[in-house]
Amino acid sequence: MSYRILTINPGSTSTKVGCFNGEELEFSVNVSHDAAKLAEFATISDQLSYRKDVILTELKKAGVDLATVDAFVGRGGGLLAVEGGTYRVGDVLLDHARRGANGIQHPAQLGSQIANEFAKEYSKPAFVVNPPDTDEFIIEARMTGIKGVYRDSHLHALNLKETAIRHSNLQGYRYEDKNYVVCHIGGGVSISAHRKGKMIDGNDIVAGDGPMAPTRCGSVPAAQMIRYTLEHPDKKETLALTTKTGGFVSHLGTSDALDVFNRAEAGDKEAKLIWDTMIYQIIRYIGSMAAVLHGQVDGILLGGGMVHNKQLVEKITEACSWIAPVTAYPDEFELEAMAAGAIRVLEGTEEAKEYTGEPCWTPDNN
C-alpha cells in the first residue's frame, strides 16, 4: 500500500509544504510570508492561523485533497531533548511546541501545531520526525572543563539522519549497522558522528560551536570570547554572533555563500581567506568526529545547499578521503525525511514514540 503524506516545514519567512505518494513527491511549494504581516504577531505560535490559511490557499490552487492524506507531519520545534525517531503529536508535545519549552523561539514550533490542525479535521495521525532537539550524545560528548556546564545537542538532525539512512539504503546496508561522519553545510554547518544508528556527537550550532558558517561565528577560544564581551557590553549584540551576525556576516557583511565564493574567485583576498577558513574548519571537525569513531568510519557524507559547490566538495574529499569514501548529497532531504518517518510507522517497520515532556538527558540522570 502506498501512503499519502503531507509535510509542513515552517521557516522564518516561508513555509515549505510537500505532498508525497509513498516516496514520490507529488507536489511541493515554498509559501512566502509577508514580513510585515508576521511582525503583527506577538509570538511565533500566534502565527498559526495565518500560516495555516496561506498553506490551505496554495493546496487548493494545486488541487490537493487533504481528505486523501493518510498522515500529516510537521517540523518539531520547541521541544526538550529527545532520542531520534518519529513521535506522535499529542497534548504534551503540542503544549511544549506552543510555548517553546526548550527556550528557543523558532518557526519550527508551528510544524507540529499545523499538522495537528489538519490531523484533527480529517481524523488522521500527526507526527514529528527527528526534531531539532534530537539528542543521542554519549556522556563524554556532553562534558566540558567547567563543572556544571554541559554541551547540548543542537544540529540539523532531520537532514543529518536522513542523509545517513538514504546513503545506507542505496548501498544495501542498514543505518544501524554502520558508522558515518555526516555533515550539513548550508546556512549553518553541522558535523556529526553516527555510530550504529545513533548520533553520538556533534557541534552545537545554536551555541556557536563548530566551524564558522555564513551567519555563525563557530568555536572561539573562551578567553578571547570573554574579552570580546567585556569590550562589547551589549549582550544581545554579542549573542547574535552565534547565529545571526557571525561568520561571513561579521567578516564580509553578507550571508550569501555564493557571493563570497564568487568574490574569492574574482581575486578578493579577504573573501578567499574566509571561504578557505570555513572549509579548513569543516575538515578539522570531520577529523575530530572520525577520531570519536576510533577511525572506524564507513563513509563521510556531505549534505546541505553549499554542497552544490564542486570546489568545496573537492577540497573536503582531498583532505578526508583517506579516512573513508566521501559522498556528496547536495541540498537537503527535510521534507522527504518527514514523509519517510511517517511511512515507516504506518508500514510497521518503525514504532512511533510518545513525547513525555521529560528530557532524555539531564545532569541528574547521567
Question: In this structure, is residue 174 part of a structural domain?
Answer: yes
Indicate yes or no: pTM above 0.75: yes
Distance, in Å, from the CA atom of 122 to the CA atom of 47, rounded to the nearest integer, reads 22
Question: In this structure, is residue 342 part of a structural domain?
Answer: yes
For residue 6, CA distances in Å to 12, 67, 124, 140, 206 come to 20, 11, 11, 38, 28
pLDDT of residue 366: 66
Question: In this structure, is residue 147 part of a structural domain?
Answer: no
CB 342 within 8 A of CB 86: yes
CB 133 within 8 A of CB 82: yes
Are 120 and 71 in the same domain?
Answer: yes
Are 172 and 315 in the same domain?
Answer: yes
Are 116 and 232 in the same domain?
Answer: no
Tens of pLDDT along the chain (366 residues) come to 799 999 999 998 899 999 999 999 999 999 988 889 999 999 999 999 999 999 999 999 999 999 999 999 999 999 999 999 999 999 999 999 999 999 988 999 999 999 999 999 999 999 999 998 999 999 999 999 999 999 999 999 999 999 999 999 999 999 999 999 999 999 999 999 999 999 999 999 989 999 999 999 999 999 999 999 999 999 999 999 999 999 999 999 999 999 999 999 999 999 999 999 999 999 999 999 999 999 999 999 999 999 999 999 999 999 999 999 999 999 889 999 999 999 999 999 999 999 999 999 999 876
Are 295 and 281 in the same domain?
Answer: yes
Are 164 and 312 in the same domain?
Answer: yes
Question: In this structure, is residue 144 part of a structural domain?
Answer: no
Q: Domain with 83 in it: what CATH number?
A: 3.30.420.40
Task: Return the DSSP state at 178.
Answer: -
Question: In this structure, is residue 194 part of a structural domain?
Answer: yes
Question: In this structure, is residue 151 part of a structural domain?
Answer: no
Question: In this structure, is residue 219 part of a structural domain?
Answer: yes
pLDDT of residue 1: 77
Q: Where are the beta strands (DSSP E) in the chain?
A: 4-10, 14-21, 24-32, 71-74, 86-88, 126-129, 179-185, 189-195, 198-202, 299-304, 326-330, 353-354
Are 344 and 217 in the same domain?
Answer: no
b/e map 214-227, b = 16+ CB within 10 Å: bbbbbbbeeeebee
Are 179 and 325 in the same domain?
Answer: yes
In this predicted model, what pLDDT tens digit does every residue of 85-99 receive, in sequence order? 999 999 999 999 999
Which residue, chain included where needed, has cell 549584540? Answer: 237
Are 79 and 61 in the same domain?
Answer: yes
- Beta carbons within 10 angstroms of residue 290's beta carbon: 21
Range of the domain at 81: 4-136+335-365
Q: Is 345 helix (H, G, I), strand (E, B) or coil?
A: helix
pLDDT of residue 34: 86
Are 41 and 189 in the same domain?
Answer: no
CB 228 within 8 A of CB 246: no
CB 357 within 8 A of CB 80: yes
Total of domains in the chain: 2
Are 255 and 283 in the same domain?
Answer: yes
- The count of C-alpha atoms lying within 13 angstroms of the C-alpha of 201, restricted to the half-sphere facing its C-beta, is 22
Question: In this structure, is residue 355 part of a structural domain?
Answer: yes
